Amino acid sequence: MNMFAEQCYGLLKQVPKGRVTTYKAIAEALGTKAYRAVGSAMHANPHPVEVPCHRVVKSDGTLGGYVFGIAEKAALLESEGVVVQAGKVVDFESVLFTFEKVSR
DNA sequence: CGGTTGACCAAGT
DNA sequence: GACTTGGCCAACC
């Protein structure tokens, strides 16, 4: 099993509906800077419905990419309450969900 | 084991 | 504001 992907899935599952997160946030939460590895893992791991990879966007608020196409990703986000326009999330920071580090 | 690529990020031009 | 460069990590050849 790919631990890396599993880690990403675990964090991703924490993201509530109507919220989005970024590859960077996931990587940081994992304690690494593998922003690319996160995205790569997602792309290479078409995991079952348990992992809403469509809730993951880039740090700029753009959708980034999706196996089914950005349009499908945008449609899914809209369906969950996230407003997507011109291929990017509207009010990105307001819908952005950040993971808390265990420390503190 | 080295080189390339990728659903990335930040800074520079 | 769009394009280029450097950097980061994991996976594939």
The number of residues in chain A equals 104
Q: What is the pLDDT along chain A (104 residues), one digit of tens a residue?
A: 788 899 999 999 999 999 999 999 999 999 899 999 999 999 987 677 788 999 999 999 999 999 999 999 999 999 999 999 999 999 999 999 999 865 44
**Stated pTM of the model:** 0.91
- Per-residue flag: A89 CB under 7 A of strand B: no
Q: Is A53 a catalytic residue?
A: yes
What is the distance between the alpha carbons of residues A32 and A17, in angstroms, rounded to a whole number? 25
- Nearest nucleotide, CA A5 to C1': C10
CB-based contact A89:A57 (threshold 8 Å): yes
